[in-house]
Amino acid sequence: MSERRHRILLAKIGLDGHDRGVKVLARTFRDAGHDVIYTGLWQTAQATMCAAMQEDVDVVGVSLLSAAHMTVMPEVLKWRKDYGIEHVPVVLGGIIPTADYDAVRAMGVAAIFNPGSSLEEILKEFGRLGAEASHGTLEEVRAGYATGDQVALAKLITHVQRGTDSDGWTPPEGNALVLGVTGSPGVGKSSFIDKLGRALRGSDLKVAVVAVDPSSPVSGGALLGDRLRMMHGTPDERFFIRSLSSGDVLGGLGPKVKEVVALLGGFGFDIILLETVGAGQSDVAVRELASQTMLLLMPDSGDAVQFSKAGLMEIASCFVVNKCDLEGADRTLAQLTSAIGADRPVWKVNTLHNEGIDQVADWVVELKRTPPGK
């Protein structure tokens, strides 16, 4: 395990057709004890650097196999400046002619790796760059947070996550509706949250997502892949996403999540969507932070007896049968309704085709706009 865990963002920008190599790197960094945010194929320079800003990463790694480095990297570095994170080193890997190395370094790229570079060499350089990363002083980031600076918000979250002494400071009390979104692995929570968040933005609500992924019990590192499902189109400055690892915390969340939610609420977000790790029946910690808890299910994920058990089913405020295009959706809906009665809402949703999302969003908007006690 590394002496200090770094946050590393790995990106595929442009039209590269596969990401096998970068996935190997992601697992390697995780196994070395780091937290890795992978943003997926076909990303833009703008979306990549927006993600780097919100995630407050120590290093950004860009993988290019399309010989577009002389076009892509100036764009990446431009957006790095525009998002106010010029302090974050950018590393380039891929098919880069050696004749271009000097020009690429002159742009401001911190290191270059080719297909012959060893994993040990790459790990060592990322570790060196990560160790030099700066996240600002508490005084600086709190001042920026107070003015609505998202760079400062992201850095303050990092300080909270790393246990920096708060010396008694607390964020302003916010008025956010905190909605927990939970369910078993593979049920489609991240894709659902992406669609729900963007529907809520359509109602002019400021939305934040806190997405928790499991940490490795061996290395302590984590592959934070939830953002991968939420990287679409031009970034929206009123849609903030932060990925966190679960550490050794049980119950579906992670360390300092309560404090992170408080920071987001104090920053002025209207809705905070809190995504748990892939949850089991007893992973109910989300109820302590969320005013409402939404449980996602898949067709044929249980029967009436299963749906009547205590635990996760019991603490849910509402239910979503996701992937309702699959066989068994109507049967699952009928069995679920039979088990829980008519007191809690149930929706059928197909995230892929954006079916049923608006109805869920309307319910959330109504909750937000209903005064407490009504």
What secondary structure does DSSP assign to 193-226, as a single string?
A: HHHHHHHHHTTT--EEEEEEEPBPTTTS-EEE-G
Same domain, 127 and 141: no
Whether 319 contacts 344, CB under 8 Å: yes
Residues paired with residue 296 on neighbouring β-strands, in sequence order:
183, 320
> CATH no. for residue 210?
3.40.50.300
In a shared domain, residues 334 and 232: yes
Shared domain check, 353 and 244:
yes
1 lies in a domain? no
User: Is 320 part of a structural domain of the chain?
Assistant: yes
At CA 30, angle to CA 26 and CA 32, rounded to 5? 120
CATH code for position 23: 3.40.50.280
Can you give the pLDDT at residue 308? 53
Question: How far is CA 211 from its chain centroid?
Answer: 5
140: left (phi over 0), alpha (psi -120 to 50) or beta: alpha
Domain holding 258, by residue range, is 177-369
What is the DSSP code (8-state) at residue 132?
Answer: T
Residues 186 and 333 in one domain: yes
* b/e code 9-27 from CB counts within 10 Å (16+ = b): bbbbbbebeebeebeebbe
Q: How confident is the prediction along the chain (374 residues), in pLDDT tens digits per residue?
A: 334 689 999 999 987 778 888 999 999 999 999 999 999 888 999 999 999 999 999 999 999 987 899 999 999 999 999 999 999 999 999 989 999 999 999 999 999 999 899 999 999 999 999 999 989 999 999 999 999 999 999 999 999 999 998 899 999 999 999 999 999 888 999 999 999 999 999 999 999 999 999 999 999 999 998 898 898 778 999 999 999 999 888 788 989 999 999 999 999 999 999 999 887 766 788 989 999 999 999 998 755 545 655 577 888 999 999 999 999 999 999 989 888 888 999 999 999 999 999 999 999 999 999 876 55
| Whether 147 and 204 share a structural domain | no
- The confidence score (pLDDT) of residue 232 equals 78
Whether residues 198 and 269 share a domain: the answer is: yes
Q: Are residues 194 and 276 in the same domain?
A: yes
243 and 331 housed in the same domain: yes
> What integer pLDDT is reported at residue 305 of this predicted model?
44
Q: Which of 310, 335, 309, 306 is nearest to 321 (CA)?
A: 335
pLDDT at position 2 is 39
Count of alpha carbons within 13 angstroms of residue 360, beta-carbon side: 31
Task: Quote the pLDDT of residue 44.
Answer: 94
Determine the residue type at 226: D
152 and 248 within one domain: no
Work out how many domains the chain is built from and give that number.
3
- Asked if residue 120 belongs to a domain, the reply is yes
pTM of the entire predicted model: 0.94
Domain match, 127 and 266 both: no
Q: Tell me if 61 is assigned to some domain.
A: yes
345 and 196 within one domain: yes
What per-residue confidence (pLDDT) applies to 372? Answer: 65
- 126 and 265 in a single domain? The answer is no
